[in-house]
Amino acid sequence: MSMPDNLPSPSFYDQVGGHETFARLVHEFYRGVAGDPVLKPMYPEDDLGPAEERLLMFLEQYWGGPTTYGEQRGHPRLRLRHQPFKVNPEARDRWLAHMREAVDTLDLPPVAEATLWDYLQRAAFAMVNTFEE
């Protein structure tokens, strides 16, 4: 049975497993952040739960899932939202190390993993706003 040509192709979000995949990614990432002496102090709340929820909503929306982030928080404005924090290359590299560990737990197909990791690396480099220690 062939599929009609006019059906939209599934989003990256759906291709990699939807909410469960992104929830696992973000949860694993914040497990690393919780014990990080450089990154943890950047989070205003003692509880990382609200930050975890924001990142989950953002990534889900970015990759074609629910648009809850935009409905609740408006345009992402990532650089502006990160401006109050000193994001130097060390912070970026620590963020990427925790995210790499989280991505590795997903066991995604190689092309999907490369697509996700490329985005995460570019985003992390774009957030750097100082080269001071």
- Domain boundaries in the chain? 14-127
Residue 106 has pLDDT above 70, yes or no: yes
As a whole number, mean pLDDT of residues 41-48 equals 85
- In the chain, the amino acid numbered 117 is W
* Across 70-78, average pLDDT: 78
Q: Which pLDDT score, from 0 to 100, does residue 21 have?
A: 98
Distance CA 34, CA 39 (A): 8
Give the per-residue pLDDT at 2: 54
What's residue 3's pLDDT?
55
Q: Which fold has domain 14-127?
A: Globin-like (1.10.490)
Q: What's the pTM?
A: 0.88
Confidence of residue 15 (pLDDT cuts 50, 70, 90): very high
Residue type, 84: P
Q: Which long-range contacts (CB under 8 A, 24 or more apart) does 79-88 make?
A: 79/126, 79/127, 79/129, 82/127, 82/129, 83/129, 85/42, 85/129, 86/42, 86/129, 86/130, 86/132, 87/127, 87/128, 87/129, 87/130, 88/128, 88/130, 88/131, 88/132, 88/133
Give, in order, the Cα–Cα distances in Å from 27 to each of 1, 88, 118.
39, 23, 20
Q: What is the pLDDT of residue 114?
A: 98
Pick from 21-25, 71-75, 112-116: least confident: 71-75
Q: Are 67 and 96 a contacting pair, CB within 8 Å? A: no
